[in-house]
Chains A and B, each alone.
Chain A
């Protein structure tokens, strides 16, 4: 079993839809949870950073962490074609070694 599971998609939605991206994990020691966005042939860009459980909102993006279920989510409201990219969840424990999910490819159609 992988430490972090993420559905690779692809996920295709119409413009303006609410997008829900999810990851599950098995290591209860993970404390820090991140979401990255990666455009084709570019390095990943940090979108959201959350410590422990709870919600965090930044503009159209909301990150949720449920440590009891070992489940994290990223919601994108009012999705735009420019949101089309691969979204990677990532997490780590006390150390700095970060474990990544496989990435979900998202297509937002105009």
Chain B
């Protein structure tokens, strides 16, 4: 299957700082990427849809000023958690859609964020 690389795989940051997470599609162009959040033993919660060259679409209840998404190229989307707080600690996962195939989504390996 296609490869989606997410970096970093884990990060610890201090409360009040910002953290950037990168999501790259390595062998296909992804005009659409998705960002999810996952709490322990729970399913994926869609946070936002990232579209190359345009503003992201956020799900209800997700603060767009806190979770900044940039999709500047066909292979890279970034999620920046601004002014992080301990309640932002979670597992963040991106997926990229292979629009050249049948539209299946491939996931990155996830980023475990811990805010102390």
The answer, yes or no, to whether A71 is at the interface (CB within 8 Å) is no
> Contact between A96 and B43 (Cβ–Cβ < 8 Å)?
no
> Contact between B34 and A34 (Cβ–Cβ < 8 Å)?
no
Mostly, the B contact residues are: strand
> Contact between A32 and B102 (Cβ–Cβ < 8 Å)?
yes
Chain B 75-104 interface mask (CB, 8 Å, partner A; 1/0): 000000000000000010101010100111
Question: A100–B47 Cα gap in the complex (Å)?
Answer: 13
Question: A96–B106 Cα gap in the complex (Å)?
Answer: 12
Chain B contact residue count (CB 8 A cutoff): 26
Of A36-44, A61-69, A74-82, the stretch lying at the interface with chain B is: A36-44
Inter-chain contacts of B99 with A (CB < 8 A): 96
Chain A 44-56 interface mask (CB, 8 Å, partner B; 1/0): 1110010100000
Closest Cβ of chain B to A109, distance in Å, is 20
> Given that A32-B102, A42-B109 are contacting pairs, would A100 and B43 also be in contact in the complex, using a CB cutoff of 8 Å?
yes
Closest Cβ of chain B to A61, distance in Å, is 14
> Given that A32-B103, A46-B104 are contacting pairs, would A102 and B109 also be in contact in the complex, using a CB cutoff of 8 Å?
no
Chain A residue nearest to B103 (CB atoms) is: A96
Inter-chain contacts of A44 with B (CB < 8 A): 44, 93, 107
The answer, yes or no, to whether B105 is at the interface (CB within 8 Å) is yes
> Given that A96-B97, A103-B43 are contacting pairs, would A49 and B107 also be in contact in the complex, using a CB cutoff of 8 Å?
no
> Given that A41-B91, A43-B93, A49-B102 are contacting pairs, would A97 and B108 also be in contact in the complex, using a CB cutoff of 8 Å?
no
Which chain B residues have a beta carbon within 8 Å of chain A's beta carbons? 1, 4, 6, 32, 34, 41-44, 46, 49, 91, 93, 95, 97, 99, 102-110, 112
Other contacts beyond A32-B103, A90-B105: 17, CB < 8 A: A32-B104, A34-B104, A36-B107, A43-B4, A43-B107, A44-B44, A45-B107, A46-B1, A46-B104, A49-B102, A92-B103, A96-B103, A97-B46, A97-B49, A101-B43, A102-B42, A103-B42
